[in-house]
Amino acid sequence: MKRIICFGEVLWDVFPSQKRIGGAPLNVAVRLRSFGHQVCLVSRIGKDEDGTEICRFLKDADIGTVHLQKDSVYKTGSVSISLDKEGSASYFIDFPSAWDYIAYNKKIDMELSLADAFIYGSLAARNNTTQKTLLQLLEKATFKVFDVNLRAPYYTKELLLTLMKKADFIKFNEEELKEVTSYMGFSHPDVKENIRFLSKKTNTSQICVTKGKHGAVFLFNNQIYSHEGYKIGVVDTVGAGDSFLASLIHCLLDGKKPEYALDYASAVGALVAGSKGANPEVSLEDINFFRSQ
């Protein structure tokens, strides 16, 4: 069991017919906890019913809420989601929300001193208050995992470069990789070449790029590993990348070889894409059976 901190947005994913609790850091935290790790979430909710329900959900999931701050001014976040015919999601994110105002305090530093990994994303840094807190924590974290999550217009080239240079591990999807390398004046048709370019520019030895149904590519200490992906009927893609990331980090922290970690993460990501919502229950038996097929 490892101790892991997930930092950033918690919110409600609002679909046309229902709403579900989500936010990338929360989704990652839920999946990591399902693997038996001790997980703490650093975020902020409003003093409203939506916030109360999120707090209740996290406690039921046995995820630490001691650093789940409460805001009396700004409401709990939400994002409107629409799905196309293939289940791919588009997002409209409320601004401002409570998670834009995560405040720094020294108690979080104490949590960091015990943590084996600190996971953060780019969306949480869209507002100055949370961005400042994040940058302070990154100065003290050990294994720093950056989940690039580009949601226009909530990022800049300068911010992305800063967050990448502070990371020990970076995760992109293929479209994000192309956009970021283009920002930096480099464009190559081969994903592997783009990864190698970014590794040198940011001095990051671990970079993973997901390619949807076409699998993923993972740079680990100068060696590149590829996975063609698992075939599954897609219900919706919400949270699939988050579960992929959580599964990959789980395996790496557990000392598994990169090729095993990539296969395992690809399987979990596929199983989530084949289910409704961001946090479907996926048992170890489900994962092992799916991989065996």
CATH of residue 163: 3.40.1190.20
End-to-end CA, the chain: 28
Dist CA 9 CA 44 (whole Å): 8
Print the domain residue range for 50: 3-292
Calculate mean pLDDT across residues 94-98.
96
Q: Which residues contact 60 (CB under 8 A, 6 or more apart)?
A: none
Letter string b/e over residues 75-99, b meaning 16 or more CB atoms within 10 A of that residue's CB: bbbbbebebeeeeebeeebbeebbb
**How many distinct structural domains can be found in the chain?**
1
pTM, two decimals, is: 0.95
| Percent of the chain predicted with pLDDT > 70 | 99
pLDDT of residue 50: 97
pLDDT in tens, 172-216: 999 999 999 999 999 999 999 999 999 999 999 999 999 988 999
Q: Which of 42-51, 83-92, 108-117, 184-193 has the lowest mean pLDDT?
A: 83-92
**Rounded (5°) CA angle 105-111-116:** 140
Whole-number Å distance between alpha carbons of 26 and 6: 7
Q: Which of residues 292 and 238 earns the better pLDDT score?
A: 292
